[in-house]
Amino acid sequence: MYIYQACLIWIRKKVLQMNATKQYAIVTANYWAYTLTDGALRMLVLLYFYQLGYSPLEIAMLFLFYEFFGIVTNLVGGWLGARLGLNVTMNIGLSLQIIALLMLTVPNEWLGVVYVMAAQALSGIAKDLNKMSAKSSIKSLASDADGTLYKWVSLLTGSKNALKGVGFFLGAVLLEWVGFANSMWVMSAMLLVALIVSLLFLDGSLGKSKSKSKFNEMFSKSAAINWLSAARFFLFGARDIWFVVALPIYLQGVLGWSFHEVGSFMALWVIGYGFIQASTPRILSLSKKQNSNPTVSTAMKLALALALVPLVMAWQLSNSPQLVIIIGLGLFALFFAVNSAVHSYLIVSMANEDGASKDVGFYYMANAGGRLMGTVLSGYVYQTFGMEACLMFSTVFIIMSAGLVLRVPSS
């Protein structure tokens, strides 16, 4: 009888593990499909409207609603995910991205600033519903005790960024091969397939809170979540203040690179950045002091190392700009990717087990806020003061992030 019961327990455990792996695969595939179109759309809009004669600040304004509605979406979306289930929020995200892409298939004379900002607003909502749903779902599918949570979060985050880099390349290639409007049709068809798979196979109870989640609970009451969110705000503001608008325009306008070269270079950078994120557990395990899960101290030390990169780049940029950009971006990718992966693990680990999407949504609201600030400043600071100033702002923001993460209470 004992052997029989042990066998039943073992079989039940294996079935649950297989189901969790299957659901993780579906969530990851959805996230991948969305990420490809998100990266491609950003590159398409940036290059196409720069080609039409828009200034760096005007291009930054095109992404204003994309980032602003990401803030709202993460805050409300976390509550909705806990109340309705993460499959609902993920499928809404995929549907909204399809609508946003179809909005941009109209004739060129319709593509004014306000209209494109409205389409980007839908895309911003879609992006953060998808991201919040994907990362929150892992809390329900993986265990923190055996290190699975840390590995799965790193893999999901890293693969997403690698594919976003592929999306940058895809956007640049599609713009040259089929044009702006036809690119939107191609990406809409791809997302429709992902949506159908999600509707058919994604578990309806995934991430749903056992208790009825109240609307006022979408604001985090945890000091750890609040301080970590503040650190995330400045960390991602530090990246986007020079990477989102300033860098591609600098590569084309100052260094004379073609659209294809700009798209390919940025794609390779983000792909490499994604691979580094996915490999974070192995990278940190090379340190004798980091054989277990990372801590807030790990995040602080990585941030201080990262701050040196844009500081040195700003100092040396005028001497050999092309070499400094290439080497500097490589070093920035290494330290920023590992730091971001550690942050992503910390938030999922610290999130409340029941209704984790509320804490994760609040955290990524701060992430979206930092990106919004970084995007606007990227256009304004570059247009007003130049690339060196963007890099100096980045350095200051990273140091602020390091200081804020130290305030996170140790668990």
Q: Domain extents for the chain?
A: 2-405
Q: What is the mean pLDDT of the chain?
A: 80
Higher pLDDT, 291 or 230: 230
pLDDT, mean of residues 178-200: 90
- pTM score: 0.70
Higher pLDDT, 67 or 377: 377
Residue 282 has pLDDT above 70, yes or no: yes
Residue 352 has pLDDT above 90, yes or no: no
Residue 226 amino acid letter? N
CA distances (Å), origin 173, targets 36, 47, 153: 13, 11, 30
What's 409's DSSP letter? Answer: P
Q: How would you class 26 by CB atoms within 10 Å of its CB: exposed for 0-12, middle for 13-18, buried for 19 or more?
A: buried
Which pair of tokens denotes residue 296? 């807030």
Interaxial angle between packed helices 223-243 and 296-316, expressed in degrees from 0 to 180 and rounded to the nearest 10: 20
Distance CA 76, CA 71 (A): 9
Q: How would you class 40 by CB atoms within 10 Å of its CB: exposed for 0-12, middle for 13-18, buried for 19 or more?
A: buried
Question: What whole-number percentage of the chain has pLDDT above 90?
Answer: 24
Residue 15 has pLDDT above 50, yes or no: no
Distance CA 381, CA 364 (A): 25
Higher pLDDT, 83 or 184: 184
Q: How confident is the model at residue 14 (pLDDT cuts 50, 70, 90)?
A: very low
Which pair of tokens denotes residue 159? 């693969």
8 Å CB contact between 317 and 387: yes
8 Å CB contact between 353 and 139: yes
Tokens 């192995």: give the residue: 282
Task: For residue 394, give the nearest of 402, 141, 383 by alpha carbon.
Answer: 402
Q: How confident is the model at residue 97 (pLDDT cuts 50, 70, 90)?
A: very high
pLDDT of residue 354: 55
Q: How confident is the model at residue 7 (pLDDT cuts 50, 70, 90)?
A: very low
| Lowest mean pLDDT across 104-118, 178-192, 295-309, 314-328 | 104-118
Superfamily of domain 2-405: MFS general substrate transporter like domains (1.20.1250.20)
